[in-house]
Amino acid sequence: MTQLQDLEITYDKPNWCPGCGDFGIWMALKNAIVQTGLNPWEVVLVSGIGCSSKVPYWVKTYGFNGLHGRPVPVAQGLKLANHSLNIIAIGGDGDQYGEGMSHIVHAARRNTNITLLVHDNQLYSLTTGQYSPTTDMGEKNKATPVPTIETPLNSLSVALSAGATFVARGYAGDVKNLTELIINAVKHKGFSIVDIMQPCVTFNKKNTYAWFNERIYRLEDEKFDFNSKEKAFSRIEEWPLRKSLKEGEKERIPIGIFYKEERPTWEDGIPQIVQAPLVKQSLENIDINPLLDEFK
């Protein structure tokens, strides 16, 4: 049985800024691996580039730190090569909702059996805080001195429209709830996405823990029915905000599972891997000559 210490690496420590929301997500992820009963060698963490994408350095499972925006295609390739592994893709909102958004759409429609965790700090933080697809309208900072005029992207709405079969939001400041969400996402058979509100204490001076604590509510406290796509869309539309608030009004930010559905996965439809993962199949007795003959 895996214990938390089995996932600790001994030669390095996370270098995130003290108080960064990435610590809460890192903790929840490790808790979830332990509580799901997975062995470290049954898990692969695949990330892009960014503060968030350093997670695989500091969890002792298999890991792959790739290119900005590209964890999802790498995760899909890994799943194809060895679908007995649990593949968790990790990236920031810039990585996933900026450069990588189209990959989410296609993984969602295919229903590839992978989990995607997005550390959504509403900025490109590693590169000092440029605005990202989820930055609140009107925000400015040192790297973005002019207030952004762009409407934030509702990425969960896009993922749901594209066919994602598990859609959820968590909060780095609520590790217990986030652990539960990650467990559910990993156990789900199909494409699961968890958008995680992650305070960046260094560059995001607006969306702080205190700010989120005043606005976040849990869907499960309202006994929300996550089997209805219509209800899911309506709750997902509550945040990010795309309208002006009336005086004294505050945003309401739902966390929890918005939608869950069982549907055959991409891997289920690939006859070559039904019997056994590709990596476990013998290379003997494979004759590629008939294939090459086609090009003569």
Footprint on this chain of ligand SF4 (rule: CB under 6 A): 16-17, 20, 22, 51, 121, 125, 200-203
Residues 112-141 that bind ligand TPP (CB under 6 A): 119, 121, 123-127, 132
Nearer to ligand TPP, 52 or 141 (CB): 52
Task: Output the residue with the shortest Cβ distance to ligand TPP.
Answer: 92
Nearer to ligand TPP, 97 or 259 (CB): 97
Q: What are residue 130's DSSP bridge partners?
A: 124
d(CA 190, CA 167): 11
Window 62-81: contact mask with ligand TPP (x via CB under 6 A)? -----xx-------------
Tell which residue, 257, 139, 252, has the closest CA to residue 187. Answer: 257
Distances (CA, A) of 281 to 82, 187, 249: 10, 25, 60
The residue range among 12-20, 46-54, 167-175, 213-221 that interacts with ligand TPP, by the rule CB under 6 A, is: 46-54
Tokens 């808790």 belong to which residue? 31
d(CA 110, CA 190): 9
Spell 197-222 as b/e; 16+ CB within 10 A means b.
bbbbbbbbeebbbebbeebbeebeee
Q: Strands (DSSP E) along 157-210, which ranges? A: 166-171, 192-197
Peptide bond connecting 199 to the previous residue in cis, omega within 30 degrees of 0: no
Residue 17 touches which of ligand TPP, ligand SF4, none (CB < 5 to 8 A by kind)? ligand SF4
Q: Does residue number 94 form part of the binding site for ligand TPP (CB under 6 A)?
A: yes
- How many CB atoms within 10 Å of residue 56? 20
Structural contact between residues 173 and 199, judged by C-beta atoms closer than 8 angstroms? yes
Identified binder of ligand TPP from the candidate list 52, 111, 144, 204, rule CB under 6 A: 52
Nearer to ligand TPP, 125 or 144 (CB): 125
Residue 267 touches which of ligand SF4, ligand TPP, none (CB < 5 to 8 A by kind)? none
Nearer to ligand SF4, 28 or 167 (CB): 28
Q: Does residue number 50 form part of the binding site for ligand TPP (CB under 6 A)?
A: yes
Output the smallest distance, CB 124 to ligand SF4, in A.
10
Residues of this chain that bind ligand TPP (CB under 6 A): 49-52, 67-68, 91-95, 119, 121, 123-127, 132
